Amino acid sequence: MKRVLSGADPRWLVVVGPCSIHDPRAGLDYAARLADLASELDDTLLIVMRAYFEKPRTSVGWKGLINDPYMDDSYCVDEGMHIARRFLLAATELGLPLAGEALDPMSPLYLADLYSWMAIGARTTESQIHRELASALDSTVGFKNSTDGSLDTALNAIVSASAPHAYLGMGKDGRVAVVNSRGNPHCHLVLRGGGGRPNYDSVSIALAEQAMKKHNIPPAIMVDCAHANSWKQHALQPRVLADAVSQIRHGNRSIRAFMLESFIEAGNQSIPADLSQLRYGCSVTDPCVDWHTTADILRDARAKLRPLLES
C-alpha cells in the first residue's frame, strides 16, 4: 500500500466498504464478496475494505459499534471492542487488508495492528492529539480536508504527523506513559469536498498539487467519491470515480487512490426501535452504493486503467 501511494507500485489503491459496520454478519458477507473481487482486479487495483466502528457525529446519534454495539443505548463499550476485533480478525483471514478511522485516541491502541490504512477525519484533522497518534502508527494514514473544504489544515497535519512527537499516552502495559513517536512518513491527502462544493475536479486537483508542493509533501491524493464530493448522494459516487479515472487517463499522476462507501444494499436506513426490522446489508449511517454497482464500477475502472500499466 505504501508503495502504491508513493508510485513505486503503479497500481491504484481503492478503499471501499460500508460507511460503518453495525451488523458483523452482513459485514463479513460483504467482505467475502469483496475478497473475491479484490483477487480478480489485483493486477490494477489494490482493494482495501472499510471496517469503521466509530462514527463522528455533527450533533448526536449512534456513535458506532464500539460505543454501542447493540444499538440500544446500553453502551457496552468493552463488548463492542471485542466484537470489533473479532470482526477484523475474521476479515483478515479472508485475505483482505482493512481500513479504519482513528477517532477515539484509545481505540487504535487495541485495533491498529489489524489495520493497513487509517483515516483522520475532517473533524479531527486539526486535533493535535490525532496528529500525534498518526505519527506513532505503522499504517498508512490519510488526512481529510476540513469540512469547509480548505486544504491547509490537512497539509499541516501531514507535516506534523511525519515528525517525531513526545506526548502522554498509554504504554504497552496499559498504564499512562510518555510516548515517543518516530514520525510517520506514510501520510497523504484525502479530498472529500466541503464548504458546499466538491473538490475532485481537475482544477481542484491541480490546486491541491500546488499546495502540496508548497508544503514539500509528495503528491499522493485519494479522491473520496462519497461525502461532500457526492453531496452525500450515493448514486453520484460512480460519477465521481469515473471523473477521477478520466483525469488519470488524461495524464494525471497525483491521484493514487479512491474511496467508496458501499454495502450489500443501496442507500441507508434509520435505526428502528425494533431492531428485527433492520434491512439486511443496508447502512445505518451514510448512504452506500449497492454491491452490484460497486463490482460494476470497479471492473470498469480496472478496464480503463489497466492499459496505462501495459503501455
176-181/187-191 β-pairing: unpaired
At residue 286, does pLDDT exceed 90? yes
Contact yes or no for 91/111 (Cβ under 8 A): no
Three-class SS string for 3-59?
HHHHCCCCCEEEEEECCCCCCHHHHHHHHHHHHHHHHHHCCCEEEEEECCCCCCCCC
User: Cα 95 vs. chain centroid, distance in angstroms?
Assistant: 18
62-108 pLDDT per residue, tens: 999 999 999 999 999 999 999 999 999 999 999 999 999 999 999 99
Sign for the CA dihedral angle at 126, 132, 135, 139 comes to negative
Show me where the domains of the chain are located: 12-284
33-65 pLDDT per residue, tens: 999 999 999 999 999 999 999 988 767 789 999
pTM above 0.95, yes or no: yes
Q: Residue 84 is placed in which grid cell?
A: 470489533
CATH annotation of 12-284: 3.20.20.70
* Length of the chain as a residue count: 311
Residues 6+ apart with CB under 8 A from 204: 191, 198
DSSP state of 280: T
